[in-house]
Amino acid sequence: MPALVLLGAQWGDEGKGKATDLLGGSVDYVVRYQGGNNAGHTVVVGDQKYALHLLPSGILSPGCTPVIGNGVVVDPSVLLSELSGLNERGVDTSKLLLSGNAHIITPYNVTVDKVTERFLGKRKIGTTGRGIGPTYADKINRVGIRVQDLYDESILTQKVEAALDVKNQILTKLYNRRAIAVDQVVEELLDYADKLAPYVADTVLVINQALEEDKVVLFEGGQGTLLDIDHGTYPFVTSSNPTAGGACTGAGVGPTKISRVIGILKAYTTRVGAGPFPTELFDEDGEALRRIGGERGVTTGRDRRCGWFDAVIARYATRVNGLTDFFLTKLDVLTGWEQIPVCVAYEIDGRRVEELPYSQTDFHHAKPVYEMLPGWSEDISKAKSFADLPKNAQSYVKALEEMSGAPISAIGVGPGRDETIEIKSFL
């Protein structure tokens, strides 16, 4: 019954797509359990580069069944265009399963996301503008539209009517926008019904049966621990639970079924959008990390904010996710620095603090306390084993492992599938 959760340990973009794809060959099912097309996962296979937003990265492994779980929010137009894009490149997507309980990102949810951000002005979250927050808000408010609603026109119409009753008031009276017509939305949504029908399934049943049959199931998180609605840097977060518990609710499996929780951890830190980021760099080192690491958003094309590794955050991710392992990515990006600062604690209003403060005010005041680790200049992109790494790179990894509270079981030394050092097998 091997069930693995693979999730981001920082603010997203840690390299989850690559890590999932790497395991995809030995996994029977890959399940996305939260988020939507706010995610952007780059997977490099040979000389081919794929950008996935909604589809689980396992879609690129022929033997693997990709599943979009009940906890995901689905923009049907994005899903269909992602599928046809892959089909055009010869990728077979026919095995995809889509939960009938997943909520749909409607066109009005996308509109509300954009106008809300504009309205917030300087206080904006910097969302991806994909309608994620408003769709989860509708779900919690019990006015959401689910995939299964596409197959009952009468129910669909009633639900769209109920949702737009309130939304049109807000759009017209508060935001000075035009009202959205119920008929138009219903027509657009019904148009997706037949196209999505081959994929719709009782995914909870399928996943649990697979586990009973000892199949290997990998739960793939979008975003990251610090973007979690409960455990992240609220309000500068996404509107779902990327943390490990989210895999249980977002896929419909009990916590007793999960055997391993792998945190994907970048060898430095990045973040997109607004919100606190203690180790953020505003100098040429930050510029160099961005340039060498190719730190530009896959979804929005925005430059990612870059900074040094933050061990306080890594420890926090270990704790709130119950991590059993780390997959350290992008170690190769740090090649060439004489010394590499690592944040080991924060100074908050004159006090040294070892753990992430729960208070937002404290976190906004946190200043990094750095320890300097010696760097290396050798090219490490061809390293196949830990012993192939220069001594200082080995020490860097060991130091991070000690500070972060879980073993580092794999190291990424390049974007390709084979540019990985496996220390301990995940399966």
Q: Which is nearer to Mg ion, 274 or 298 (CB)?
A: 298
Q: If binding is defined by CB under 6 A, does position 8 make contact with ligand IMO?
A: yes
Instruction: Please name the amino acid found at residue 306.
Output: C
Q: Which is nearer to Mg ion, 13 or 332 (CB)?
A: 13
Which of these, 109, 200, 185, 205, lies nearest to 151 by C-alpha position?
200
CA distance 323 to 117: 34
Q: If binding is defined by CB under 6 A, does position 61 make contact with ligand IMO?
A: no
Given candidates 200, 216, 227, 393, which one binds ligand IMO under the rule CB under 6 A?
227
- Min dist CB 128 to ligand IMO, Å, is 3
67 interacts with, out of Mg ion, ligand GDP, ligand IMO, none, CB within 5 to 8 A per kind? none
List Cα–Cα distances, 108 to 72, 113, 182, 185, 427, in angstroms.
18, 9, 10, 8, 43
For residue 161, give both structure tokens. Answer: 């009517």
Instruction: Out of 21, 53, 75, 139, pick the active-site residue.
Output: 139
CA distance 263 to 404: 11
Q: Could you write out the DSSP letters of every residue in 65-125? A: EEEE-TTBEE-HHHHHHHHHHHHHTT---TT-EEETTSEE--HHHHHHHHHHHHHHGGG--
Q: Which is nearer to ligand GDP, 144 or 224 (CB)?
A: 224
Given candidates 6, 8, 9, 13, which one binds Mg ion under the rule CB under 5 A?
13
414 interacts with, out of ligand IMO, ligand GDP, Mg ion, none, CB within 5 to 8 A per kind? ligand GDP
Q: Which is nearer to ligand GDP, 250 or 415 (CB)?
A: 415
Residue span 87-116 as binding mask against ligand IMO, x where in contact by CB under 6 A, dash where not: ------------------------------
What is the torsion angle, in degrees rounded to the nearest 10, for the CA atoms of residue 119, residue 125, residue 131 and residue 133? -110
CA distance 88 to 336: 40
Instruction: Please name the amino acid found at residue 130.
Output: R
Given candidates 127, 269, 279, 318, which one binds ligand IMO under the rule CB under 6 A?
127
Q: If binding is defined by CB under 6 A, does position 74 make contact with ligand IMO?
A: no
- The SS3 call for residue 331 is helix
Residues at the interface with Mg ion (CB under 5 A): 13, 40, 298
User: Catalytic positions, please?
Assistant: 13, 41, 139
Residues at the interface with ligand IMO (CB under 6 A): 8, 12-13, 38-41, 125-128, 130, 132-133, 222-224, 227, 238-239, 272-273
